[in-house]
Amino acid sequence: MLKNTQQTYGSVAKTFHWLIFLLIAGLVTVGFVMEKLPMSPDKFKLFGLHKSFGITVLTLVTLRLLWKLVNAAPLLPDTLSALEKFLAHAGHWTLYALMFLMPFSGWMMSSAAGLPVSVFGWFTLPDLVAPDKDLKEIFREVHKTAAWTLIVMVGLHVLAALLHHFYYKDNVLVRMLPRFRR
């Protein structure tokens, strides 16, 4: 089943969800590791890969959002209060905002630093801002703050999914899990 239904997510939405999660988990981990590395050719290679995968995430999140807009989302359980439903939607939209903010702030930081954003050596993206040391530091702080905020939001997202599964005993978690054929 490719498309979503009112009961569950389809394989396209699930693939986007888990692929983007894995890429972001890797990018955040590598981002914190890169910060601590001394300047070297290997660090610059790592920065290049980090940028390339960041742009890959930006592309996938854009496609995921487009897919979300043309697909029905599964309904939230009737047992949730209006406040809980609002918080669920607000949490998801906050995650989307952060998934856009992270790559754009990184791209702007690179532009402000005068460092091009090459995507796997296939093409180079245009600079979003002119080189500017002060702007670079602002975008660096935005990128770092957005990373920590994303970590917190993903943690809350996971906690909410586990709460649904183990406390409410509904299908909210299960409907996003991949189904493997036997």
Domains and their CATH numbers in the chain:
11-176 (1.20.950)
The first and second tokens of residue 22, run together, are 């894995």
Instruction: Name residue, tokens 């980090």.
Output: 50
| pLDDT for the residue 72 | 87
Q: Which of 34, 15, 26 is nearest to 54 (CA)?
A: 26
Closest CA to 172 of 161, 181, 180, 182: 161
CA distance 164 to 171: 7
What is the pTM (predicted TM-score) of this model? 0.94
- Note the pLDDT tens digit of each residue in 117-169: 999 999 999 999 999 999 999 999 999 999 999 999 999 999 999 999 999 99
Give me 180's structure tokens: 């493997």
Cα–Cα distance measured from residue 57 to residue 102, given in angstroms and rounded to the nearest whole number: 9
pLDDT at 19: 98
Contacts of 149 (CB under 8 A, 6+ apart): 98
Residue ranges, the chain, pLDDT below 50: 182
pLDDT for position 44: 93
Give the integer Cα–Cα distance in Å for 152 and 156. Answer: 6
Residue with tokens 């009112």: 6
Look at residue 181 in the predicted model and tell me its pLDDT.
59
| Interatomic CA distance for residues 149 and 151, integer angstroms | 5
Give the pLDDT confidence score for residue 147 in this predicted structure. 97
For the chain, report the end-to-end CA distance as a whole number of angstroms: 16
